[in-house]
Amino acid sequence: MVHRTHNLLKSKAQFFILSAFVIVTFLYFISRWIEPLNVIDTSQFVLVEDQFVFNNIRDKTIATVKISKDCQDLSYNLNEYKAFVQEYAAKKNMALSFNYVITQPCDDTILNTSFAISISSPNSFLNASFIARK
């Protein structure tokens, strides 16, 4: 009788393990069948940083005008900022055109400056013209 009980427990355990394997396999194939065939890869849009760089340059250009104390400081700050962003854009394989004109005669309280900025890369071309004031 001991021998018979041992065989019965062994066959129940084997049945349980086999049943669990079949159920897991069945669920796996059902999940693969339900999964969409085409998953859209949106990572390429995140990797393209041209729009982000362009918006950042535009925003920091306006901030540079606002923090400048007078006309001489504005001219110096814009020259420094222009050199910085052109070097940054070159490292990112982008061609940057950063042109500005400080309205003459310059008023230290207004600092009226017009800008024309464009960035081109293998992926895109972005440009903007705007006026920044203190």
> In terms of pTM, does the model score above 0.75?
no
Residue-wise pLDDT tens digits, 70-121? 999 999 999 999 999 999 999 988 999 999 999 988 888 899 999 999 999 8
Residue-wise pLDDT tens digits, 49-67? 888 999 999 999 999 999 9
CA distance 74 to 42: 41
CA distance 38 to 115: 45
CA distance 100 to 82: 10
